[in-house]
Structure 1
């Protein structure tokens, strides 16, 4: 029951987008937290310290995270660039609040908050010396439905001097210091069975909650039972397991008053003992040294030109067990739903024929199922590894990168055309390594190659559950990201694994017979249709000349395969008959597919008009600044879901009339070929796949629309704009 409830919680959370992590920081126009820098003095004395403040102001409905974000989140990270010899302490936070969404609890700042740090100026700096300070900040900001990593770089020019206070900065720092938790001594932490019992004297009345600075003491969502203990307070909290091998540090807060507490855990037998330096109490000086007395001993100095400074990974900080589980479940469900996408049906028909031929042989069915699953998962891992590696070296590409390459489209055109001719009976394939073998002779290698082909063509499709999972995968560490891609492949292969290993399903498979030859020829039709669609896509990417060249190469293969089939029926077939066509394909891939001058903009062609324009971030910013409602449509010629949405929802007469009446401008971003601006924009909004739709009402933040659109959704948005204007 607990596992079922947890799985349901994760699915509901995913459905509402909680924990969806964007790939890159939001642009200045989209930033949901504004950060600023203030100093108590801009002329610090040599050998003294200056307190600086980083003010964080979230938009209404958005929140930042405490130093320990809880089950999910990412705190503010600061990378300081200061002169040699200057040191800066770690950031100090005010007390957090608990946010619990669908059972995932986090420690957040749900309004404006200010962080403090201490900068130590060395004695060696003479008065009048310039003291430039720059800090690169990164943080995660979330609403109840979306999380976005953001960044900002703040700078100020100080000068070593008299230490005179800066009026505005000193007020900000003083207010922030008053909001910081006050050190409190005498706290104890006792392990009593499966619970921690925290006690502290000398605190004001109120409903307190304990926030640990480290993970693993107790779950963020754990129930905390509070009771008064004389002039103090006692909290009983279920333990999370083995305690960290360090002293407990945290914040005790009732929402108004907050205290910085520290204690070393003791066993229940010592619960009644007076705290001491040996039994668990940590001195005021020790707490103060952490809170405000001295900066971190780590010096911030310029790195040598030949070295790079290894900063903490943003993704590593953001990873939590809950977020990873959400990504894995989303990938599994997304892969399962890929089997329903129209772009993968022709390939699945090959596997259906293969499984049907296995008949009632359980062993053959298991071999087919495992081989197919291995091919799908291996291809998913390969595509995921390529994507992660290419992005790591600076390439702006997304999940569907393979279909943005004309060379890849040409290879797929030749492969699907050859499979279609094979299914039509033009020739037979005795070699088990070829992709189509799984459709007619079975075996592990044949099934593996069929699965690999299915995954390669199907993966560009993006359906429900996939957007969040893929967005999260690219900010996870590489091993965990690859686990998400593997889960995507497993989801796609799951129906065939069920057929292979569930006897009741196997018994329902039809018996082999003469009908299979007829079915095989019928299945050549969707394969021919797939080849035709790939030829059209090649033409959209490279123009008429490129499409003609692709069809010429396919024709060479068709003639070679026809010749091979004739020799095969005479008993003298040989693969050398395919050599001329293979050499032609290799030559085209080596030289590159030429683009006709008129095809330079073919893939990005948009029917321009007063209310229909090509997407650019600059144009989007202009329209939003003018108060114009905007519908953003990211599409591609290889995205069948996108094309279906255009046909049934976007380009309908009713939708266009409603948009025209409300003055809605449609910005179309065509991702058929690689476009770094579109890739970066998608990443800014937690996506690396399409379809992706947004609607900007005047003066409001973007609303992400469903991946499967209906005219009613779009017309309703236009009507809302019209009603607001009237």
Structure 2
């Protein structure tokens, strides 16, 4: 028996090296080198991103997309992962086309990276996990020759993951539709009509449509556009010798807009309309120009100054106006500082939204107010400002009543004004921000910046137009009394934020925040006493208080959300796309509204137009079905649906007449608007009773 096991172990020892040798690199990567990079260390329960970074030895060599086209070879990858770890589908940048002798290839020129998401299971012992290794084979080609390449991989941390993730084509947030008619493939891709799509090309990842049908990659592609639908027509070629087979249930591809920009999409079988519609060249003829979107963003930001959600910080704006009554140079400096704060905040929020969406997150305007820690920080800030207005302490470097103007204070006022204004979306903003979320990142960033410029414009003009400033009251002792009165609206802001925290946080979280608030007020009172005695070091002391508050709130545990118990006169059902589809098949009118507890405009509209007995009676007579989408906390389905409607945030109000598509109602509702709309349905012969 012992001899048997000895012979078995010898045979196994001989077998193992032969198995490993099959994973040895036979060709190497002399023409296009590859290395496996990791975005930091893996974390249990999270997605760990790996990247295969390809680097050609010279400009003549190129690699291939997963579907190489008429010729070439895609990458073949094997990863050795710990048990239970799952590698996702590789994510590619938008490819390029190379046509030689009538054959089209889908290639990459220069450096490029293919990302591989790895799901690390909950409870995984990542510290004890072995290094991730693997094996990859691929093809390196020039215009004349092709050489097989391969490499044994070992993951190392590092690399420009931010740039690599930005290059990956983001996934469209809803399915496209495709149909095959004869020898032509037609794909209907839902895209906002405002999107400037540039130089279009469809890269089909799916290479087999059954029955020998395959895309004719080098054929001319036709693009048709009508409203929010872009249709691509691509000829198919039939290869002989294949048996009849059904079409695939789902196809995938990348719609390129040129210059490395595009969208990944999945498409299911269905009817694609637009027969007889005149084709367009490049797809951008009917799209508003970027300057139109920039003007819309500028106008939307300007109107934010009078939107209800900006009311809580009107006290700060009023003080900024009063301070502008000083000398001309000080007024201009303050105006520029305030503008810089507003624009920086809007641009920063816009950049964060675009970065998160490019990483696959479904976020929109004011997404940060869905995070309890952010709302908690705003609450502490509002408490501190209220205490400042009541004279408990002075913010170092900010002159409130008379005296020398403070650029730092005006800059901080601008930051706060923009941050607190984010729960609102007003007229013109839906067009601009909806397009910004799907445009190229540079254009989207420009739109968010224009929004900030519009919000700051009145105060910028005030600083540079002396005639306007002369109409303001002169600085004097009244400003100190005015500042104390302004503690009232800021105190109301504290209460509003406390109510919001009660809605999105649990009891333990609120207790911890209350303790932190008491400590904060005690430290600010101590700072005020030091200032009253003329002691120095006020800026350092104040900075320490701010740092302590931020550090403490960052340590708070993630709260458990409360169940929504808010009642409504209209008795709405919770929104879901399934519930909406069922409601629309009833033959009755459907009203859908999207709201959030942090959206002041939403709450004003609800009190003015929605939660009214008159509206309830009109809806009851017309048989209107109501659905409500609560976006107070993050909800992927609501975020995706808002994006489909071209909306960057809430409020959003949709009306569906029987058999009709959605009609977007104004974002600011008048008292009788909904009741009148319901009466129109009652009088319509198409309305189901």
TM-score, normalization by structure 1: 0.61
Is the aligned partner of 1:378 residue 2:344?
A: yes
Equivalence for 1:454:
417
2:546 pairs with 1:418: no
1:476 deviation in Å?
1.1
C-alpha deviation, 1:674, in angstroms? 1.0
Q: Distance in 2 between matches of 1:439 and 1:687?
A: 43
2:184 aligned residue: 53
Residues 1:718 and 1:445: Cα distance change in structure 2 (over 3 Å): same
User: Which residue number corresponds to residue 600 of structure 1?
Assistant: 562
Within 5 Å, which residues of 2 pair with 1:200-599?
Answer: 213=281, 322-431=288-397, 442-572=405-535, 583=548, 586-595=551-560
Partner of 2:668: 708
1:351–1:438: 8 Å Cα contact kept in structure 2?
A: no
User: CA separation in 2, counterparts of 1:114 and 1:571?
Assistant: 73
Identify the range of structure 1 (648-657 vs 347-356) with the bigger mean alpha-carbon deviation.
Answer: 347-356
Maintained 8 Å contact 2:216/2:237: yes
Aligned mates of 1:632, 1:680 — CA distance in 2: 15
Residues 320 and 366 of structure 1, relative CA distance in 2, 3 Å threshold: farther
- What TM-score, normalized to structure 2? 0.64
Superimposed CA distance per residue, residues 447-484 of structure 1 (whole angstroms, 9 cap, x where no aligned partner)? 11110111111122111111111000111111111110
Pairing partner for 1:89 from 217, 239, 256: 217
1:82, 1:131 within 8 Å by CA — same for their partners in 2?
no
* Distance verdict in 2 for CA 1:567–1:320, change over 3 Å: farther
Query: Are 2:618 and 1:655 aligned?
Result: no
**d(CA) in 1 for partners of 2:457 and 2:678?**
41
Are positions 1:37 and 2:180 aligned together? yes
- Give the Å deviation of 1:490: 0.3
Distance 2:641 2:228 in 1: 27
Contact preservation (8 Å) 1:634, 1:691: yes
Distance 1:495 1:131 in 2: 62
Between 1 and 2, higher relative CO (CA 8 Å, sep ≥ 6) is seen in 1
Are the equivalent residues in 2 in contact too, given 1:469–1:484 (CA < 8 A)? yes
CA shift for structure 1 position 692: 0.1
1:717 to 662, 677, 680: 677
- SS of structure 2 residue aligned to 1:343: helix
Going from structure 1 to structure 2, the CA distance change for 1:85 and 1:465 (only over 3 Å counts) comes to closer
Query: How far 1:717 moved relative to its partner?
Result: 2.4
- Output aligned runs, 1:616-631, within 5 Å: 616-631=576-591
Closer, same or farther in 2 for the Cα pair 1:538/1:438, shift >3 Å? farther
SS in 1 for 2:424: coil
CA distance in structure 2 between the partners assigned to 1:25 and 1:70 by the alignment: 13
Partner of 2:267: 153
Residues 549, 581 of structure 1: alpha-carbon distance in 2 compared, 3 angstrom cutoff: farther
Unpaired segments of 5 or more residues in structure 1? 1-22, 40-51, 97-106, 141-148, 157-171, 181-208, 215-316
Aligned-pair distance for 1:585? 5.2
Distance 1:667 1:580 in 2: 45
State whether residues 410 and 538 of structure 1, in contact with CA within 8 Å, keep that contact through their aligned partners in structure 2: yes
Q: Is the 8 A contact 1:654 1:711 kept in 2?
A: no
- In 1, Cα distance between equivalents of 2:357 and 2:608: 35
Contact 1:35 1:152 in 2 (8 A): no
Query: C-alpha distance in 1, partners of 2:475/2:223?
Result: 70
CA pair 400-384 structure 1, distance change in 2 beyond 3 A: same
Distance 1:667 1:478, change over 3 A: same
Mark the CA change 1:401 to 1:318 in structure 2 (over 3 Å): closer, same or farther: farther
Shift of the 54–594 alpha-carbon distance from structure 1 to 2, 3 Å rule, reads closer
> What is the CA distance between 1:54 and its match in structure 2?
3.0
Q: Aligned in 2, Cα 1:627/1:73: closer, same or farther, shift over 3 Å?
A: farther
Deviation at 1:517, TM superposition (A): 1.1
Task: Tell me how far apart the structure 1 counterparts of residues 533 and 455 of structure 2 sit (CA, whole Å).
Answer: 41
| 1:79, distance to aligned residue in structure 2 (A) | 1.8
Q: Match for residue 164 of structure 2?
A: none
Q: Secondary structure at the match of 1:567?
A: helix
